[in-house]
Structure 1
């Protein structure tokens, strides 16, 4: 996995939630390729173990742990395990998330709460339980919270999702200020993907179009809505996350990094 720029996060320990597939897996692979020891977590055990094995087979260092990000005890356990095995934590990528689409009039309170628990509560819990170990590690750290272009602008039939991702955006800025005031060297930023080819589109499409159980045509959607005319892939997001986690971004905190092919310009 090492390339000409290998080593940009060498020696760092990274935790990536939702790391079994999609953007999370892309981030885990990229960070490992650049020298980090990666702990990837998810509730998709088979895919998670496969992702960790793939990283190891390519020469990287990775391990998988089952982790429900809505469970505070699980967060405490995962972070304690990282401390016991690796002695430090330098990077947290709060990536785990779901997308539930459809009219807000039809959304159940249970679905609203489930989406909020994963997309927003999970980010809160990750920050709460990771910062103490980052501070103890003594080298500062980088927290990247995965938001969305839906956290920057409204979208019909995605009101609940937009609410969670908008919450992640401002939560990130507030925590960035708290860490800056503490002079702890921990930087906190959010990333806002646009139309990226990931499995989340299956659940979103199914809710917006009843009966649908396949990926929508992202190429056609991108040709119509994205100024650059093409969809993104997980590596596009992972490249941005890598930069935010590297020392190259040492003076960057509280930023919202938009990676969307120009989608939010319209």
Structure 2
């Protein structure tokens, strides 16, 4: 057994139906964890869980609206019941709505605050309640929040998104402190992913063109690569492996930290 072996651990991944979330769920499963996919995309989420099961993993799906307290309570209860516990929460669900500050849309900002900040906060709340001593899982564990390189550097066209991801960083650190002081036994960390060419990532590049900030999506992506010392975009596996690390015993003395997984872009 290695320190990265998650055999016997039970994980819940929000926004796990596709993109980064699906990749993180797959990596956790390959490391030995049982995985519950949680998403508002019921059909896609169920297919992702089916794919994991077909590959030999213990996996399931539960519908989850991360902005709804009752939905979180149901998702956590279902996970604990079906997987016989909960040791890992990956707060991955998020949305990005681009826009210039001069054209700021209050509804867009409100939507991002609800999903990216409130959604992550409710996840931490219910993970703590389940994982702390006396909770229905009760064995401690790890929460990994997904922030963004946008929380660490200025990038045009995404002020609202950047603000919400910076809030995720602060939430992570306060939650880690509270968990330690109150004896919950739950480590709380976050990662800052760089740009990954998922559907969400490429839409961002297209948005930069629509906003008049770059002449083409290719130019926008090229400039991001130019800002990245390792000279490439991120891959889903880069982010997923970082999540496995933070969930594992290899990170047993790490809490309240933000791990850049951005090829050096945010340094």
Alignment TM-score, normalising by the size of structure 2: 0.91
8 A contact 2:187–2:256 mirrored in 1: yes
Counterparts of 1:46-57 in structure 2, within 5 Å, are 46-57=43-54
> Over the residues paired in the alignment, what is the CA RMSD in angstroms?
2.1
Aligned to 1:201: 201
Q: Determine if contact 1:219/1:230 at 8 Å carries over to the other structure.
A: no
Are 1:19 and 2:46 an aligned pair?
no
Q: 5 Å matches for 1:93-104?
A: 93-104=90-101
**Bigger CA drift: 9-18 or 36-45?**
36-45
1:6-32 per-position Cα deviation (integer Å, ceiling 9, x unaligned):
971111110000001111111100001
Q: How far did residue 222 of structure 1 move?
A: 4.3
Task: Spell out the pairing of 1:13-92 with structure 2 (5 A cutoff).
Answer: 13-92=10-89
**How far apart are residue 33 of structure 1 and its match?**
0.9
* Partner Cα separation in structure 1 for residue 238 and residue 181 of structure 2: 32
The 1-side partners of 2:47 and 2:123 are apart by: 24
Aligned mates of 1:31, 1:76 — CA distance in 2: 22
- Of 222-231 and 63-72, deviating more is 222-231
Return the offset for 1:157: 1.2
- Alpha-carbon offset, residue 211 of structure 1: 9.3
Q: Equivalences for 1:92-131 in 2 at 5 Å? A: 92-131=89-128
The aligned length equals 260
Q: What CA distance in whole angstroms lies between the structure 2 residues aligned with 1:6 and 1:183?
A: 23
Task: Using the TM superposition, give the Cα deviation of residue 208 of structure 1 relative to its aligned residue in structure 2, in angstroms.
Answer: 3.1
Partner in structure 2 of residue 162 of structure 1? 162
Q: Which residue number in structure 2 is paired with residue 252 of structure 1?
A: 254
Map 1:113-262 to 2 at 5 A: 113-135=110-132, 136=135, 137-210=137-210, 216-217=217-218, 220-262=222-264
Contact kept? 2:227, 2:265, Cα under 8 Å: yes
The CA deviation at 1:5 is 6.4
TM-score under structure 1 length normalisation? 0.91
Partner Cα distance (1:263, 1:211) in 2: 22
Listed one character per residue, the Cα deviations across residues 38-62 of structure 1 (whole Å, up to 9, x for unaligned) are 0111122232122111111111111
Q: Distance in 2 between matches of 1:260 and 1:253?
A: 20
Which deviates further from its counterpart, 182-191 or 203-212?
203-212
